[in-house]
């Protein structure tokens, strides 16, 4: 199971990298979202999968799944959401001001040369 | 801190006062105040002569950074004292000269004297320091103050060029010197020159000795303008003439000579020391004198002549170092080279200083230094003429002036090389006296050109900018003193031998001094019919012939290809490195974020993968692996499919929905992996995200499909496959190697007992690890404020207005 999940998150990383390398700002942001999905899945996988019940003490089970990775992922989800939201607005504003979303055109200013 | 320390540092302290004096005492030329200091120092240092001539030394220590063995230790012995006297003595004369040379009203005198005092203090520090790091510190201050002085008229482009060039070359050498010092420290464990010399056994057979030697010599050669590093000196002639006279003839350029002399006992056992110094010295001597003949500028001639004379002193020190190999000989004839080096060092300071001042006077009174425009000044400037006569005849080595004596001793030293039987000198040693002789002929020729072209011949009034007349008395005092010293040392050379030369020799050749042998320094005018005498006669005869026919053979200088000139190499090298670095920067700093991301991802993949396989860290262990169910396979296919559709999507709507599919699949994963809180959060966040995406992309254009080039996409594909592969590999490898069990048992056991909550994940978030949550909230807050600011704040208006204004 863990090996399958490693492969799945590897594929997510692959697609994310491909998107991040593309020229459209839109695809870059979708790429970062996929990247965080892959990372979250990876954290969960590394904690070990299916080794007990839900980490709620009311269940009275003999073993629980590891709660620590879940707490870490929860934090990470919220943070990546915040960052994505900011990115989105930034992309929106930069398109408004610069009239392009092509990464090749977003290249310094002419004085740099 | 002793009186000696205070006096060495006094120029620095005095330099602080100079701007105030310049500002508030406008009526008096600032130089008069400055003059007091070197004069007082000179008189103070004169007192040491008694001490050093009886073989004693003065050592004063002031702790600076004792934990690093860096102490400000001053050490006055024969060699240090000789240089200190040169620095302060000529410093006084130059200050006096500069008072008349630089106008009180037109020049920024406070700058000038501050720089000059900085230089003087630094130079005193160099020659009196015993600690190598302190020496290096002062060494760099001399480079810096020399840079400032060369660029004194900073509005002229040539001054700036010369200053930059000298800075680059001398600092290059200075850094090499620092490297050599550090290597010496590594071998001996001390920075003190005296201690290193006392423990020479530590250096025996050390592999680092040769690198240290070469680095130290690089420092000395660049500072002392040895071939091929001499190129900065002629360009340094853009400095005011007092500076040229002081720094670039008498003191700074001799710092390298000082260093070689001071460290001779340390390195002279090594064959490379003798060979490098002799070869570079003699080639500098030849090249300097050869190049001086073609110069048309008075200071240009003097600059190349300084280069050549420094080469001569250097080669003498090299030959003199061989005397240590013949320690056991009763009559050590090689010591004479050291005597000649020191004697010529003093002589050169006298005649070259006076000649520079003469050049300055001529420049000052006629408005030009070009010998093609000058001529016939003999009748107009009788005093300057006399000084120039003494100076240039002494430089040429004509009796009865002091230059003759040191040249004779120089030739003796070079002829003695023939008698050496080390380093195969019996075969190629003959080159040294031959080159020395040829160089001396050229020395004679340029000295004569300098003198006769300026003062005899036809007066070309129409070419001169001013009507020439004799210089004011004050301007003449210093060169008169120097020229009379040249005459005095010429007639009574032995007044120097016991007072200055022998103590200095004891410092350079301590092992011979310790063996109890007394140095026999008897400088005589008449040696009898020795080979040197005939060589001198030859120099004068051939030199006269060459001088009279100089117009007929000077065409050989035009034949010399400009492309092989060292300056050409320097300039092209500078341009080349600038272009090269600009090219390198341009080749990878493209400005495209995508390129940088490719670098980052490629390096990440290569470094991670290679470390994984080089350290053999990859394992595949399936014992701990959970079984795979049908749901997981379906969800995996869904996630992978969604991700791939995102990549392949041609419209933004498809891409967004596919990304949403991936997100919801992830939350389903959380469900089957028993993480209810995660599933909830992920569901909500994904919904909001998709909504936000839709909201924002409504304003953005359709996905651009310009990237048609196959290579571009192939590279992207390759890079992304690499990254995905790395992640998978690391996932599998790290899962297969669990080093220790999780700490989660504690959370499970204590969640209710200690924190009173049954939802373990929530207890961890707000109780066990509440700090994470606090700052995660902060992140959200910052994001919210950031979004607000991005949307609301528009600072473009002003720039737009400016834009319209244009």
pLDDT tens, position by position, B620-633: 777 777 788 888 89
Rounded to whole angstroms, the Cα distance separating B471 from B480 reads 12
Tell me the residues of chain B between 536 and 595 that have a Cβ less than 8 Å away from chain A. Answer: 591-594
Residue in A8, A68, A108 nearest the CB of B747: A68
Chain B contact for A18 (CB, 8 A cutoff): yes
Rounded to whole angstroms, the Cα distance separating B309 from B392 reads 13
Chain A contact for B664 (CB, 8 A cutoff): no
3-state secondary structure of B58: strand
What's the mean pLDDT when you consider all of chain B?
A: 85
Indicate yes or no: CB of B779 within 8 angstroms of CB of A82: yes
Cis peptide before B228 (omega within 30 of 0): yes
Long-range CB pairs of B622-625 (<8 Å, 24+ gap) are B622/A3, B624/A2, B624/A48, B624/B735, B624/B738, B625/A1, B625/A2, B625/A3, B625/B735
Rounded to whole angstroms, the Cα distance separating B662 from B738 reads 29
DSSP single-letter state for residue B63: E
Q: Find chain A residues with C-beta within 8 A of B639's C-beta.
A: 8, 11-12, 37
Sign of the Cα torsion B20, B21, B24, B26 reads: negative
Rounded to whole angstroms, the Cα distance separating B439 from B308 reads 8
pTM above 0.90, yes or no: no
Q: Find chain A residues with C-beta within 8 A of B733's C-beta.
A: none
Rounded to whole angstroms, the Cα distance separating B539 from B396 reads 9
Long-range CB pairs of B21-24 (<8 Å, 24+ gap) are B21/B110, B22/B109, B22/B110, B22/B113, B23/B110
The answer on pLDDT for B375 being more than 80 is no
pLDDT at B796: 61
Residue B771 half-sphere exposure toward CB, CA atoms < 13 A:
0
Indicate yes or no: CB of A41 within 8 angstroms of CB of B666: yes
Cis peptide before B293 (omega within 30 of 0): no
The answer on pLDDT for B532 being more than 80 is no
Tell me the residues of chain A between 24 and 83 that have a Cβ less than 8 Å away from chain B. Answer: 24-27, 29-30, 33-34, 37-38, 40-42, 44-58, 64-68, 70-71, 73-75, 77-79, 81-83
CB-CB contact of B231 with B201 (8 Å):
no
Indicate yes or no: CB of B647 within 8 angstroms of CB of A107: no
Write the pLDDT tens digit of every residue in B238-284. 888 889 888 877 788 899 999 998 888 888 888 888 888 888 998 89
Indicate yes or no: CB of A103 within 8 angstroms of CB of B674: no
Helix/strand/coil (H/E/C) assignment for every residue in B461-505: HHHCCCCCCCCCHHHHHHHHHHHHHHHHHHHCCHHHHHHHHHHHH
The answer on pLDDT for B328 being more than 50 is no
Give the chain A residue nearest B757 (alpha carbons): A57
Indicate yes or no: CB of B760 within 8 angstroms of CB of A67: yes
CB-CB contact of A80 with B569 (8 Å):
no
Helix/strand/coil (H/E/C) assignment for every residue in B166-196: HHHHHHHHHHHHHHHHHHHHHHHCCCEHHHH
Q: Is the ipTM of this complex over 0.85?
A: yes
Write the pLDDT tens digit of every residue in B434-462. 888 888 888 988 888 888 888 887 777 77
Q: Find chain B residues with C-beta within 8 A of A11's C-beta.
A: 639-640, 643-644, 724
pLDDT at A99: 76
> Residue B195 class from Cβ within 10 Å (0-12 exposed, 13-18 middle, 19+ buried)?
middle
Torsions phi, psi of B153, nearest 5?
A: -90, 75
Sign of the Cα torsion B773, B775, B779, B784 reads: positive
Rounded to whole angstroms, the Cα distance separating B349 from B751 reads 89
Rounded to whole angstroms, the Cα distance separating B463 from B460 reads 6
pLDDT at A113: 43
């Amino acid at each position: 199971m863990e090996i399958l999940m490693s492969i799945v998150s590897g594929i997510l990383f692959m697609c994310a990298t491909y998107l991040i390398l593309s020229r459209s700002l839109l695809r870059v942001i979708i790429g970062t979202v996929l990247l965080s999905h892959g990372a979250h899945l990876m954290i969960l996988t590394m904690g070990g999968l299916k080794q007990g019940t839900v980490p709620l003490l009311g269940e009275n089970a003999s073993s629980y799944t590891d709660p620590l990775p879940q707490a870490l992922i929860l934090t990470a989800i919220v943070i990546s959401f915040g960052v994505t939201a900011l990115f989105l607005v930034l992309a929106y504003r930069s398109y408004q001001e610069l009239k392009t979303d092509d990464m090749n055109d977003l290249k310094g200013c002419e004085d740099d040369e | 801190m002793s009186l000696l320390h205070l006096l060495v540092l006094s120029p620095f302290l005095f330099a602080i006062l100079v701007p105030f004096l310049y500002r508030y005492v406008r009526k008096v030329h600032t130089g008069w105040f400055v003059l007091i200091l070197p004069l007082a120092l000179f008189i103070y240092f004169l007192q040491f002569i008694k001490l050093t001539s009886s073989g004693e030394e003065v050592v004063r220590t002031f702790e600076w950074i004792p934990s690093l063995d860096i102490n400000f230790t001053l050490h006055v012995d024969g060699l240090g004292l000789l240089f200190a006297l040169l620095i302060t003595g000529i410093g006084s004369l130059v200050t006096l000269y500069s008072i008349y040379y630089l106008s009180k009203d037109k020049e920024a005198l406070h700058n000038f004297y501050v720089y000059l005092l900085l230089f003087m203090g630094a130079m005193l520090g160099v020659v009196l320091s015993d600690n190598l790091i302190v020496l290096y510190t002062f060494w760099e201050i001399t480079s810096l103050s020399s840079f400032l002085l060369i660029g004194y008229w900073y509005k002229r482009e040539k001054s700036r060029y010369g200053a930059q060039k000298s800075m680059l070359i001398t600092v290059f050498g200075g850094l090499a010197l620092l490297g050599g010092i550090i290597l010496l420290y590594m071998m001996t464990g001390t920075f003190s020159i005296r201690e290193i010399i006392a423990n020479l056994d530590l250096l025996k057979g050390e592999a680092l000795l040769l690198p240290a030697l070469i680095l130290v010599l690089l420092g000395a050669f660049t500072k002392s303008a040895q071939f091929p590093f001499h190129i900065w000196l002629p360009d340094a002639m853009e400095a005011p003439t007092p500076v040229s006279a002081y720094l670039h003839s008498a003191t700074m350029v001799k710092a390298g000579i000082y260093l070689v002399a001071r460290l001779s006992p340390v390195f002279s056992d090594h064959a490379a020391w003798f060979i490098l110094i002799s070869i570079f010295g003699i080639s500098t001597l030849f090249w300097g004198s050869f190049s001086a003949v073609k110069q048309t500028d008075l200071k240009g001639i003097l600059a190349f002549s300084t280069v050549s004379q420094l080469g001569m002193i250097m080669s003498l020190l090299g030959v003199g170092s061989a005397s240590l190999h013949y320690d056991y000989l009763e009559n050590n004839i090689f010591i004479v080279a050291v005597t000649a080096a020191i004697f010529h060092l003093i002589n050169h300071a006298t005649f070259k200083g006076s000649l520079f001042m003469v050049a300055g006077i001529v420049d000052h009174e006629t408005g030009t230094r070009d010998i093609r425009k000058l001529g016939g000044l003999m009748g107009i400037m009788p005093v300057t003429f006399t000084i120039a006569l003494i100076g240039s005849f002494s430089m040429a080595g004509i009796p009865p002036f002091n230059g003759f004596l040191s040249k004779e001793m120089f030739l003796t030293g070079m002829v003695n090389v023939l008698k050496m039987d080390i380093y195969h000198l019996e075969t190629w040693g003959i080159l040294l006296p031959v080159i020395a002789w040829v160089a001396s002929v050229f020395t004679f020729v340029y000295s004569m050109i300098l003198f006769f072209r300026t003062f005899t011949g036809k007066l070309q009034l129409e070419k001169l900018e001013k009507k020439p007349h004799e210089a004011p008395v004050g301007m003449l005092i210093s060169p008169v003193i120097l020229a009379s010293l040249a005459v005095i040392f010429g007639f009574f050379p032995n007044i120097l031998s016991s007072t200055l030369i022998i103590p200095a020799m004891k410092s350079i050749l301590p092992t011979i001094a310790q063996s109890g042998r007394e140095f026999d320094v008897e400088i005589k005018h008449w040696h009898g019919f020795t080979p040197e005498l005939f060589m001198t006669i030859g120099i004068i005869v051939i030199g006269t012939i060459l001088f009279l026919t100089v117009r007929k053979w000077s065409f050989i200088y035009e034949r010399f290809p400009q492309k092989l000139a060292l300056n050409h190499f320097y300039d092209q090298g500078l341009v080349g490195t600038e272009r090269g670095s600009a090219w390198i920067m341009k080749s990878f700093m493209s400005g495209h974020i995508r390129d940088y991301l490719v670098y980052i991802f490629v390096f990440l993949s290569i470094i991670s993968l290679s470390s994984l396989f080089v350290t053999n860290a990859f394992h595949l262990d399936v014992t701990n692996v959970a079984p795979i169910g049908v749901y997981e396979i379906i969800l995996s296919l869904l996630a992978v499919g969604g991700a791939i559709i995102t990549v392949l999507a041609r419209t933004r709507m498809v891409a967004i929905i596919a990304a949403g599919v991936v997100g919801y699949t992830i939350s389903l994963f959380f469900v089957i992996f028993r993480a209810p809180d995660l599933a909830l959060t992920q569901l909500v966040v994904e919904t909001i995200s998709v909504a936000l995406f839709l909201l924002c992309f409504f304003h953005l254009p359709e996905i651009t499909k310009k990237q048609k080039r196959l290579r571009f996409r192939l590279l992207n594909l390759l890079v992304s496959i690499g990254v995905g592969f790395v992640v998978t590999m690391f996932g599998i490898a790290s899962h297969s190697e669990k080093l220790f069990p999780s700490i989660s048992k504690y959370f499970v056991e204590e969640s209710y007992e200690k924190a009173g909550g049954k939802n373990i994940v929530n207890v961890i978030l707000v109780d066990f690890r509440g700090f994470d949550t606090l700052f995660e909230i902060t992140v959200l807050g910052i994001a919210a404020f950031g979004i607000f600011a991005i949307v609301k704040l528009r600072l473009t208006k002003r720039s737009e207005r400016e834009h319209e204004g244009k």
